[in-house]
Structure 1
């Protein structure tokens, strides 16, 4: 499961890594939870488009309250074509969810996960568009798969993380589903930095860069 993110990619970083302006005016965030907005990158006829979306998929035939009850902020790769909320967007509405890092818990201890080289983690996601009293609402979910060696001691799932060479194939609706499915493998081991952080991150109301600081003497993942 992936239930908490960090999103501190600056506008300059966004331009450098993705070649486009970061949308909205979100400050750096270190404790992003489901139902909050995240930046997503989608397919566009002239390339890619970046926008904001609610984290937690809202299919057009569900109300936001119903979608929240179903906790559609993660989608298992094994059931993308068999679970109704995910089958339609998997075919036509795939997205990238660029983040600075994410959190996982083990025996009550939170761990922060990021790339060792400082680049963004680019997660595979799905997006939807629904209309309500306040107009169009974009929403998204993060796809999970089996963990790699970096995370297997923490959890039995990890988000699908995509390399830059696979971004366009994932986004393009014309990519055959069999080819898209082949991209949903665990990330290569040895790329991620995984370390223990303060339990303050457990309260979604807590915010700030101190949440991602490495705990001294407790930096390794459990064995």
Structure 2
């Protein structure tokens, strides 16, 4: 039996979906991005000298009798390592380790055109090279000084507190903190918006 459509039945027409680039009247507008406060991580701690004098690691490495050893190219023959060590000194860096604590350091110094840095001295003692290097370790400005025997590739070295560099880094730290405080005050003012001068009801005539 064939089915007959009832002429009085309503017919629903499906319209294709229309994607409009305009926001719907029933949709909330997207929230503006929240301002972000960026604080640059300081390179040093607030009181460098106190940490250098009280920290056990610094106290140990500050002794002038600490044994050090060149650690570069340990898988190469001894003669090649000697050549590599002197080549690195000429290029402005080398790797040193304190043998008692196993503390490894990457020493760097400014190379000079056609020769060694003033921080590298091959003439002070025959068969030894004396090295100085400034860097920041655990938030403290320090200076490494010592010597390495050119044959054995070991020697003596220690860390000193670098007051000149610490003074410069302390000033930069204070400036960064002041910038952050100013941004924080600006952020708080914007957050209060039109209500920052609002006086509560009953708060005066």
Structure 2-normalised TM-score?
0.23
Tell me which protein shows more helix as a share of its residues. Answer: 2
For the pair shown, which has the larger CA radius of gyration, 1 or 2?
2
Structure 1-normalised TM-score?
0.21
Tell me which protein shows more strand as a share of its residues. Answer: 1
